[in-house]
Structure 1
C-alpha cells in the first residue's frame, strides 16, 4: 500500500469571539479560573449566518485552492465531525456539492470526535489505494456551541467552533506511520436521537488522566513505526483540549516544549477541527515548510485516540 502526504491546508473560524469574561456574565466562572486550568482565554462561536457546513466548505475551499488542483482532481472527500448540521446528508456530501467535486468518488463522514481528523487521514489513505485515485480532501469541522449547556461551567468554557482541512496525496516515497485505537466508554458523550437534549457531558478528571497517559503511548508507537523521534520532526501537533495536558506530556517524556504547538488560548477545544486548524496556522506562519515531517496526535470522546507521522510536502 502506498503512503500518504499533505500538500495543502486551510481553515475557517467564526467571526464571533467569546472571551472568558463574556462567559463570566452568564455562568459562575471567571477568566483566572478558566485560563489557569485550561490555558483557554477565548473561543469562537458561530453567528446566525454561520454553521458547521459554512465552516467546512470555507476551510475545504481554501485547502483546495492552496493545492492548485481542480475539483475534478479530488478522488475522495472525508469529513470528521460530531456536530454536523444534519444526520444525513453527511457533511462530506455537502462539501462535495459546494466545491463541485466529482460524483463517482467516495464521500463520507467519520465520527471519532477529537481524533476524527487523523482517522480521516487514514481512511483517505485506504480509499485512495483502493480506488486508484491520487488526491483526497480531509476536513475536520465542528459547531460545538450548539451542543453546550451554558449553565454547566465545567463544559461550556472549554469548547469552540471551527474547521480545518487538508489535501493529501498518495506518494511512492513518503514516510508515513499511524496508530489508531478506542476504549469504549461514556467519559465524554452527547445524547443523540430519542433524547430530549443533545448536550456535551464530560467527566473531566477521568478524561485528563486518559489523555495524559495515552498521548505518550501514541508518540512511542509512532516513533517505533516511523523510526523518527520527537527531535526528528518539525512539530508535534496535539489535539488542543487543555494546555495542562500537553505540558504534562512534555514533562513526562522529557521532550522539548518548543516542539509542541499550542493555540487553545485563542480557539478552545474544537474537537475534530483542532489539529487541522493548528496545522494550517503553522503552515501560514512559515513554521512548517515543504519537506518537514510532522507528528500529530488526537484523543477524545469514544474514547478514541489516533496519531500520525506524515510529511508536509507542499505544492
Structure 2
C-alpha cells in the first residue's frame, strides 16, 4: 500500500493588511480587547478583484515548484473552501484549467475550518488505493466576502489566504493516520444562515454573513480538540512526547494554547500564525505548515500533528511523518 508523503508546500497571502488599529476606526473595539481574546494583531484581506481561485492558484504553483512536479504529473486536485468562486463549477475545476491540467478528477470539499484536514484524508485514500501518484490539496478562502464589517464579534477574527501541498506516493512515512468527525446538532453556533436553496435573497443582496456564538464555540472546540489528541495518539500507539510539532487551525490563541497543554508541548513546538494571519478557515493549517517548512523549523522525519475545528461542527486531525 502506498503512503502519501508531502513533497511540496506553498502559500499565498493578499497584499492588503488590516490591523487592529484599522478595526478600531471601523467598529467599537480596541487592539487590547482583540489581542487578549484572540491573539490576533493583523490579518490579510483580498483585493476587490481577487478571488479564492486566484489565491489558491498562487499557493498551488509554489507547492508544485517545491515538489518538483509539473501540471502533467498532477493526478488529482482537491480544493477545500467555504468561499468558492462560483456555485458551480467547483473552484477545483477552475484551478485545474488555470494550471493547464486536463482529465484528472478535481472537486471541492466544504468542511469549513476543518476542510484542509478532510481534503488531506481523502487524497490519502486515493494514493493508498494506487490510482493516484501526485495529488494537489488546496485550502483557500476569501472570508472577507461573508464578513459583516459592522459586527465586532466576527470582523476581528476572519481573513483571507491560501495554502497548498503536493502529496506524492511513497513507500514509507507520510500521512500516518487521519481522524474525521462532525455533528450537525451544533449547526447554529457558527453559520452563514443563507444559501442557494434557502435564503438566497440574502446572498443576492450581499447580506449572507457569518454569525457566531463565540463562548459556546470556544467551549466545544477546546474539549473536542483535546479528545482528538487522545484519539490520534492511541490509534498510532504513540506517547505525547512522540509528537514533534503541533500545527493547529489558527482560530484563537487560547484554543491553541489549551491544545498544546493537552499535548504537554511547549509553545516553541507549536506553529502559530494567528497573530499575523487571523482565522483563514481551510487555509490556516497549510499556511502555517508552509511557513514552518520554508523557515526551516520543520525537518524531514519529524512527526506533525495537524488538527482543526470548524462550523458544522466539523473536527479532525492528521498525524504526519514529514
Q: How many residues get paired?
A: 311
CA distance, structure 1, for counterparts of residue 302 and residue 48 of structure 2: 39
- 2:214 paired residue number: 204
- 2:92 paired residue number: 92
CA distance, structure 1, for counterparts of residue 59 and residue 239 of structure 2: 30
Superposition pairs for residues 163-202 of structure 1, below 5 Å? 163-174=162-173, 176-184=176-184, 185-190=187-192, 191-193=194-196, 194-195=198-199, 196=202, 197-202=207-212
- 2:40 paired residue number: 40
Q: In structure 2, which of residues 239, 264, 267 is the aligned counterpart of residue 257 of structure 1?
A: 267
Superposition pairs for residues 7-18 of structure 1, below 5 Å? 7-18=7-18
TM superposition shift of 1:220: 1.1
Q: Secondary structure at the match of 2:8?
A: strand
Listed one character per residue, the Cα deviations across residues 19-43 of structure 1 (whole Å, up to 9, x for unaligned) are 0110111111110110010000000
Using the TM superposition, name which of 181-190 and 153-162 deviates more.
Answer: 181-190
Q: TM-score, normalised by structure 2?
A: 0.93
- 2:297 paired residue number: 287
CA distance, structure 2, for counterparts of residue 227 and residue 22 of structure 1: 48
Q: Secondary structure at the match of 1:47?
A: coil
C-alpha contact 1:77 1:106 (8 A) present in aligned 2: yes
C-alpha contact 2:240 2:263 (8 A) present in aligned 1: no
| RMSD, aligned α-carbons | 1.4
Q: Which runs of 5+ in 1 are unaligned?
A: none
C-alpha contact 2:16 2:45 (8 A) present in aligned 1: yes
CA distance, structure 1, for counterparts of residue 241 and residue 255 of structure 2: 20
Superposition pairs for residues 18-33 of structure 1, below 5 Å? 18-33=18-33
Q: Secondary structure at the match of 1:155?
A: helix
Using the TM superposition, name which of 224-233 and 267-276 deviates more.
Answer: 224-233
- 1:117 paired residue number: 116
- 1:228 paired residue number: 238
Listed one character per residue, the Cα deviations across residues 245-291 of structure 1 (whole Å, up to 9, x for unaligned) are 11122334443232221110001000000000000000010001222
C-alpha contact 2:31 2:41 (8 A) present in aligned 1: yes
Superposition pairs for residues 146-157 of structure 1, below 5 Å? 146-157=145-156
- 2:276 paired residue number: 266
CA distance, structure 2, for counterparts of residue 207 and residue 259 of structure 1: 25
CA distance, structure 1, for counterparts of residue 124 and residue 262 of structure 2: 32
Using the TM superposition, name which of 244-253 and 116-125 deviates more.
Answer: 244-253
TM superposition shift of 1:130: 4.1
TM superposition shift of 1:227: 2.7
C-alpha contact 1:147 1:199 (8 A) present in aligned 2: yes
Using the TM superposition, name which of 57-66 and 184-193 deviates more.
Answer: 184-193
C-alpha contact 2:229 2:262 (8 A) present in aligned 1: no
C-alpha contact 2:229 2:263 (8 A) present in aligned 1: no
- 1:303 paired residue number: 313
Q: Secondary structure at the match of 1:281?
A: helix
CA distance, structure 2, for counterparts of residue 72 and residue 3 of structure 1: 21
TM superposition shift of 1:158: 0.2
CA distance, structure 1, for counterparts of residue 130 and residue 102 of structure 2: 14
C-alpha contact 1:75 1:128 (8 A) present in aligned 2: no
Using the TM superposition, name which of 205-214 and 123-132 deviates more.
Answer: 123-132
- 1:277 paired residue number: 287
TM superposition shift of 1:83: 0.5
- Structure 1 residue ranges (4+ consecutive) displaced by more than 6 angstroms after TM superposition: none
Q: TM-score, normalised by structure 1?
A: 0.95
